[in-house]
Amino acid sequence: MLASNPEAPLTLRLHNTLTRRVEPFEPLEPGRVGIYCCGVTVYDLCHLGHARSYIVWDVLRRYLLWRGYAVTFVQNFTDIDDKILKRAAEEQTSMDAVSERNIDAFFTDMDALGILRADRMPRATRCLNSIRSIIAELEAKGAAYSADGDVYFAVMKQAGYGKLSGRDLAQQHDNAAGRVASAEEARKQHPFDFALWKGSKPGEPSFASPWGPGRPGWHIECSAMVREELGETIDIHLGGAELIFPHHENEIAQSEAATGKPLARYWLHNGMVNVGGEKMSKSLGNFTTIRALLESGLSPMTLRLFVLQAHYRKPLDFTAEALEAAATGWKGLNAALALAQANGAAATITQEADELPPPLPRQPEDARERFVAAMDDDLNSSAAVAVLFELAKPLRALANRLERGDGSAAADAQTPEAIQRGTLLIELAGVLGLKAEATPAAPAHGGSPSETEITAQIDARRAAKGAKDFATADRIRGQLADQGIELIDKPGGITEWLRR
């Protein structure tokens, strides 16, 4: 395991959504950190928003490991949900088949981005006993009630509801006044009560319960998995900003009503992803998956660098220009890392905990200290990346000289200063999950792409058009035309293709 550096005590400060301020991080148990990260609902491939979220939380985990903490990282799969059932019906297959396919795809995409796999990855369908147990506890305490096979959490019974999101329950109730209630809302004691258990409809998968056959609500799944895997109170709970309300607000309410204890000491949320200044969504036609981006030729480390060049709490604007800038930056950084690696510098952080390298001597001290100061400042990855570029600059120049055949460059690359600089660069880059990539060979001009490659290019073109980057969209169309693929745009954002 990675040894703690006694000369560098942890001074990490994190923005806690619950308190709305940046606070010193102090774990419940010295030297150990328990983290729960809200995972994906496995009905489809992961998109750019998932990439942004899981890259930044991977960096948090790597940084804590590097600073000598024993980290238990739990990330769940929501494998029963309305979206999964809808997709299964569309494909005339089962909920399990849809879930398993997309869980496999999740691992493929996250592995490609260098995201460490969680220590534990519970699934909602595999913790049903814990879910039913918490619901029964809430019902016994009067915080939940059943109605026609459904079970609801009574928000008015939980003091402090709204403390995470800052929403005023009375104001929300007033805003809802006069609205025509649906059949479900009519069964509720309060319009904002939420489902803990849903009675099954004809033809739906169901599980047995004291309230009749059905399935759990989304929020109670995470409460059960947190408690089962990490206990009643954890150090850090992670997620995207879109989960603050209602998901995390409801999670807090039901967990704390059941246990009487805080669910998490620190709540961290990453900012949203925009495409050309607009929120990314399928309805706007600017939605793109991780798979499509990587298969269109974008390197995993370029995407990772693109994400880390913005602070995790700020919106991330996805544009062709920003990606091009990240690609240019990564080209130089990659050259420096490759040179350092060729010179025998220490290996970066790997997925296996036993292989994590110890910190190197504190030299050059200034660069290391500035990197630590940046990361301690609420994970300021953009400032940390700037330190990497400073370290890389002389090494990149050496790599350029070697490429030009400069006879003295090889000797200069072997100097103690160059080796020390390269060793530190690899170490700090590894904390951010950045590692040298082989430069891919250019595809043969005029080759015939596969259907998967064509689909990826169409998705990349759609994202470019959504970002109003019509030059890139036209370039993709032209490249496909050169390879014998004709694109046919149809109403509704649909693009079909023919192989000539």
Domain 13-270 homologous superfamily, CATH: HUPs (3.40.50.620)
Q: Report pLDDT for 172.
A: 60
Cβ contacts of residue 225 below 8 Å, gap of 6+? 36, 74, 76, 122, 124, 127, 130
Q: Report pLDDT for 281.
A: 74
Distance CA 420, CA 238 (A): 36
pLDDT tens digits, one per residue of 87-109: 999 999 999 999 999 999 999 99
Topology of the domain covering 332-437: Four Helix Bundle (Hemerythrin (Met), subunit A) (1.20.120)
Distance CA 211, CA 194 (A): 16
166: left (phi over 0), alpha (psi -120 to 50) or beta: left
Distance set, CA 21 to CA 15, 43, 446 (Å): 5, 35, 56
* Best CA proximity match to 143, nearest among 225, 267, 250, 18: 250
* Residues 60 and 49 sit within 8 Å (Cβ to Cβ): no
* Best CA proximity match to 350, nearest among 37, 62, 4, 53: 62
Q: Report pLDDT for 494.
A: 81
Q: Which residues of the chain have pLDDT under 50?
A: 1-7, 175, 177, 345-363, 441-446
Q: Report pLDDT for 455.
A: 79
Distance set, CA 252 to CA 18, 69, 222, 358 (Å): 10, 26, 10, 37
pLDDT tens digits, one per residue of 192-247: 999 999 999 888 899 999 999 999 999 999 999 999 999 999 999 999 999 999 99
3-state DSSP assignment of residue 446? coil
What's the predicted TM-score (pTM) here?
Answer: 0.83
Q: Report pLDDT for 435.
A: 96
Q: Report pLDDT for 282.
A: 67
Query: What are the DSSP calls for 176-226, one per residue?
Result: HTTPPPPHHHHT-SSTT-EEEEEEPPTTS--B--TT-SEEE-HHHHHHHHH
Q: Report pLDDT for 500.
A: 63
Bridging pattern class, strands 214-216 and 234-240: unpaired
Q: At what angle do helices 381-403 and 365-376 cross, to 10 degrees?
A: 140
Q: Report pLDDT for 451.
A: 76
* Residues 215 and 80 sit within 8 Å (Cβ to Cβ): yes
pLDDT tens digits, one per residue of 307-330: 999 999 999 999 889 999 999 999
